[in-house]
């Protein structure tokens, strides 16, 4: 139906507007979450709401409602759009202020909820895998802009994405300031080595992904060892398998990095098992939209 929630009102998509003086628009001053619903159930809902509020707390953005109230507004928006399978973008900005940076000039946050469809990659990518490249743009350091905060300012990631596109690749691998593997522009990364999983530790400058955590839990159920560690490109090039995880992307096999085939150059057995497990998980868990 194309209804967008803005500060308590559901507005048709073509009429949904915010002020040009909103500091989310002017300065990227705000936080967001991307959330999925499957078959009428919102997946990992509490985890996404908790992370949104943690991001807001870190940037000293006072949320305009309780977690329960926010959750109810999300459910109301999804229900109004009559979507069973959807991608939900939940945004809270600092609100309307003036042309200065001072956040005290923004007395009231702006809340926006969008429920729509999303398809980051075609179906063939999940079947045959993706090729990624390492790009020059480094992941932001925590002392500048902590990657744990899902801020509206995604320029760091966008610049990396542009570099990948310019090189003819669909996705970019970003290193941290020390030259170690961090993550891709919108996904966490895992490798399979000697029947175990390894993924960059959070102190390597990554977002602690909710799908990432779900995959770690699924691996544990299969008694697959999973280690958070420091990784180099050398580790990736010599991995048995590799895959990416993200709310929008779900799980994507990686078959080539910087023109080097990973394993046998095809989606690996463990990756496929975890993809199946993840799809099954989305069908049996979540908060019902009612």
| Catalytic residue status for 9 | no
End-to-end CA distance of the chain: 17
Residue of 150, 193, 256, 269 marked active site: 150
Please tell me the distance from the alpha carbon of residue 16 to that of residue 73, in angstroms, as a whole number: 16
The percent helix, strand, coil of the chain (3-state, each to 5) is: 35, 30, 40
Beta strands per DSSP E along 9-67: 9-12, 30-38, 41-42
C-alpha separations of 123 from 9, 88, 96, 167, 250 in Å = 35, 21, 40, 22, 12
List alpha helices for 86-150, DSSP H.
123-128, 142-145
List residues with catalytic annotation. 150
């Amino acid at each position: 139906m194309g209804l967008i929630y803005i500060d308590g009102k559901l507005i048709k998509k073509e009429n949904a507007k915010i002020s040009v003086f909103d500091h989310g628009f002017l300065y990227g001053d705000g936080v967001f979450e991307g959330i999925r619903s499957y078959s009428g159930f919102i997946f990992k809902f509490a985890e996404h709401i908790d992370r949104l509020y943690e991001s807001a707390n870190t940037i000293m953005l006072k949320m305009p409602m309780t977690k329960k109230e926010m959750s109810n507004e999300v459910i109301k928006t999804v229900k109004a759009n009559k979507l069973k399978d959807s991608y939900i973008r939940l945004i809270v900005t600092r609100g309307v202020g003036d042309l200065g940076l001072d956040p005290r000039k923004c007395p009231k946050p702006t809340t926006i909820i969008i429920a729509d469809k999303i398809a980051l990659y075609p179906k063939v990518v999940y079947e045959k895998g993706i090729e990624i490249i390492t790009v020059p743009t480094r992941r932001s350091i925590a002392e500048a802009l902590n990657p744990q905060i899902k801020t509206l300012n995604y320029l760091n990631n966008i610049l990396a994405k542009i570099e990948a596109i310019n090189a003819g690749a669909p996705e970019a691998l970003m290193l941290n300031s020390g030259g170690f593997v961090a993550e891709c522009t919108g996904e966490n990364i895992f490798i399979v080595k000697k029947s175990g999983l390894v993924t960059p530790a959070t102190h390597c400058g990554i977002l602690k992904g909710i799908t990432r955590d779900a995959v770690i839990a699924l691996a544990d159920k299969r008694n697959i060892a999973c280690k958070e560690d420091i990784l180099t490109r050398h580790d990736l090039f010599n991995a048995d398998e590799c895959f990416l995880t993200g709310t929008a992307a779900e799980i994507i096999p990686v078959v080539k990095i910087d023109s080097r085939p990973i394993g046998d150059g095809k989606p690996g057995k463990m990756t496929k098992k975890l993809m199946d497990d993840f799809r099954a998980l989305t069908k049996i868990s979540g908060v019902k939209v009612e």
